[in-house]
Chains A and B, each alone.
Chain A
Amino acid sequence: AQSVTQPDIHITVSEGASLELRCNYSYGATPYLFWYVQSPGQGLQLLLKYFSGDTLVQGIKGFEAEFKRSQSSFNLRKPSVHWSDAAEYFCAVGGRNQGGKLIFGQGTELSVKP
């Protein structure tokens, strides 16, 4: 079965501290992996994506993610968190088949302490 698991429902970090949000996936074919961010009451904004090639991908707002096939993981990282990063983060997996359907994880809510 195709699925995405984000083990952490809620994470709190101090401003300036580093951040890692976990994502594990189960997907039968070669996965296309995404991280989206959602501010309260807003739609989803794409942070970064992985299709192939270099397993460390850079995204917007200083975020990066590393694809580890052996661990079926695609964790999101940021070296120094800003207060404006407080939001909900969704990991998603999809493919070129099935109309490009995305399967989302449950999301991780990030709070940032001053």
Chain B
Amino acid sequence: DAMVIQNPRYQVTQFGKPVTLSCSQTLNHNVMYWYQQKSSQAPKLLFHYYDKDFNNEADTPDNFQSRRPNTSFCFLDIRSPGLGDAAMYLCASKAGGTDTQYFGPGTRLTVL
């Protein structure tokens, strides 16, 4: 089945140690999103790619970066994780010109 896949589902890192979260989609969507969802809060958009064009939200910290090497894959890099970055990270995709985003299962990040 076509879907959005996130790996790993659970990630533990140490304070200040760089970490990369992975997302892939088999839907051939040209738009991909990364959301951060802290405990008991709404998902908050960090950035998105429209094709190869990167769009950063104004309040996304510089600590967060993203790469999209091809249509299917998108990575979230956290350069120096702090305790406040512990959250669920959700990846989503959609076809440009449509309006429905499809979400992956998320990666739960723990920072020790």
Contact = CB atoms under 8 A, between A and B. Distances in A.
Given A99-B31, A99-B55, A100-B31, A46 B45 contact: no
Interface stretch (B11-19, B69-77, B103-111): B103-111
Given A42-B105, A43-B106, A100-B31, A49 B100 contact: yes
Contact of A106 (B31, B42, B48, B101): B42
Contact of B101 (A51, A96, A100, A107): A100
Nearest to B104: A43
A43 B42 CA distance: 12
Contact of A46 (B42, B102, B106): B102
A99 B56 CA distance: 11
B107 to A, nearest CB: 10
B106 A105 contact: no
A48 B97 CA distance: 18
A32 B99 CA distance: 8
A87 interface: no
Contacts of A106: 41-42
Contacts of A42: 105-106
Contacts of B55: 99
Interface of A: 32, 34, 36, 41-46, 49, 51, 90, 94-96, 99-102, 104-107
24 contacts: A34-B100, A41-B106, A42-B105, A43-B105, A44-B92, A44-B103, A45-B103, A49-B100, A95-B99, A96-B97, A99-B48, A100-B94, A100-B99, A100-B101, A101-B45, A101-B48, A102-B43, A102-B101, A104-B44, A105-B42, A106-B41, A107-B40, A107-B41, A107-B42
